[in-house]
């Protein structure tokens, strides 16, 4: 077997690349940020949580609390500060996409017996490509340049996924895992998508506990409890809504009426997340490529990887 070449890529290279990605994303988003109020959902959310709309939203309460804090900043307008906050969150999302994508394993030892390249280099290139696609995505750019809870919610989700990856690579991180579960439970009250992802995340947590030999019934119950305890925030949100005039104008009579509609709005967000038209195409361009890439490949005794290169080109095109 030939000797592997060392191209000098290491953890420091990933950190440097992450810093460059963060700087480039933040500069681009700040240069294109909307200078004032943006019509549509952005204005609706801002007006609602700033108590300018008599009927504030019944979802995204954590983002609403951030808006309430931004109102007290000595800046020219709430709309501008909200837009800049979305841009900062958007830059964080781009960096997390880079970090997560760059850590996807690119192990070709089963295909190419004599590996003559550094796998970290491939990871960095994949991370840069993924971050670039995220940053140049028109839907992402639209929510990242105006006040909108989408970038804030994505930052929470991807940040927690990154933390879970780091926990999985640490020998003794049971305490961090408990804290992580509490944060994920809090995130579910803010972002309905995290409820949909929860089963997959739960399986990942159990796998990490089994791999690290932490898995016992007692510890599993503690993990579940840590994740369920923050769901009491729903009661805080419902109580907060009872303090608004909209509580009476909507015809609510009790705290439980408010709580029910908070849950209902999250259910509707989940129900509308899967489109009735085009869901099959969405499945084909997301799940199928992921399965094809992560499925274990048979070892190539001859060392040929032409079919693998062709597969990566096809998936990149998709």
- Over residues 53-63, the pLDDT tens digits come to 888 888 899 99
Total residues found in the chain within this entry: 318
- Over residues 71-117, the pLDDT tens digits come to 888 877 888 999 999 999 999 999 999 999 888 765 554 444 445 55
Q: What residues contact 299, with CB distance under 8 A and at least 6 apart?
A: 110, 111
Q: What is the pLDDT of residue 2?
A: 44
295 or 126: which leads in pLDDT: 126
pTM for the whole structure: 0.83
Q: Average the pLDDT over 138-152 and give the result.
A: 93
- Among 128, 197, 103, 101, which Cα is nearest to 157's? 197
Average pLDDT, the chain: 83
269 or 1: which leads in pLDDT: 269
Q: What is the pLDDT of residue 308?
A: 58
Find the range with the poorest average confidence among 124-128, 259-263, 307-311: 307-311
**Cβ atoms within 10 Å, residue 253:** 9
49 in Cβ contact with 57 (< 8 Å): yes
Find the range with the poorest average confidence among 76-80, 122-126, 183-187: 122-126
303 or 176: which leads in pLDDT: 176
**Cβ atoms within 10 Å, residue 290:** 12
- CA angle in degrees (0–180, nearest 5) for 49-25-166: 85
Residue 302 predicted with pLDDT over 70: no
Alpha-carbon distances, residue 221 vs 53, 164, 203, 232 (angstroms):
43, 18, 14, 18
Q: What is the pLDDT of residue 5?
A: 44
Residue 46 predicted with pLDDT over 70: yes
- Among 159, 28, 16, which Cα is nearest to 87's? 28
- Over residues 11-34, the pLDDT tens digits come to 568 788 889 999 999 999 999 999
């Amino acid at each position: 077997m030939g000797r592997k070449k060392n191209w000098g890529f290491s953890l420091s290279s990933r950190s440097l690349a992450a810093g460059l990605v963060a700087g480039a994303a933040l500069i681009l988003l700040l240069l294109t940020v909307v200078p004032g109020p943006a019509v549509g959902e952005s204005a609706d959310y801002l007006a609602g949580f700033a108590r300018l709309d008599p009927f504030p939203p019944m979802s995204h309460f954590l983002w609403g609390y951030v808006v309430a804090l931004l109102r007290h900043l000595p800046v020219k307008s709430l709309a501008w500060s909200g837009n800049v906050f979305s841009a900062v969150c958007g830059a964080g999302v781009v960096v997390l996409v880079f970090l997560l994508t760059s850590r996807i394993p690119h192990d070709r030892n089963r295909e190419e017996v004599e590996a003559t390249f550094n796998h970290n280099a491939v990871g960095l290139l994949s991370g840069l490509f993924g971050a670039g696609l995220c940053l140049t995505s028109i839907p992402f750019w639209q929510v990242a340049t105006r006040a909108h809870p989408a970038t804030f919610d994505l930052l929470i989700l991807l940040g927690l996924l990154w933390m879970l990856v780091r926990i999985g690579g640490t020998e003794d991180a049971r305490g961090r895992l408990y804290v992580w579960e509490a944060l994920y439970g809090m995130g579910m009250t803010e972002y309905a998508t995290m409820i949909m992802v929860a089963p997959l995340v739960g399986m990942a947590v159990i796998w990490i506990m089994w791999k690290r030999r932490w898995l016992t019934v007692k510890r599993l119950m503690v993990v579940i409890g840590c994740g369920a305890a923050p769901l009491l925030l729903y009661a805080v949100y419902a109580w907060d809504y009872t303090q608004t005039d909209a509580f009476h104008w909507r015809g609510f009579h009790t705290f439980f009426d408010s709580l029910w509609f908070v849950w209902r709005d999250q259910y509707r967000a989940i129900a509308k997340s899967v489109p009735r038209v085009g869901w099959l195409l969405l499945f084909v361009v997301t799940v199928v490529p992921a399965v094809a890439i992560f499925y274990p490949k048979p070892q190539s005794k001859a060392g040929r990887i032409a079919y693998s290169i062709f597969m990566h080109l096809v998936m990149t095109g998709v």
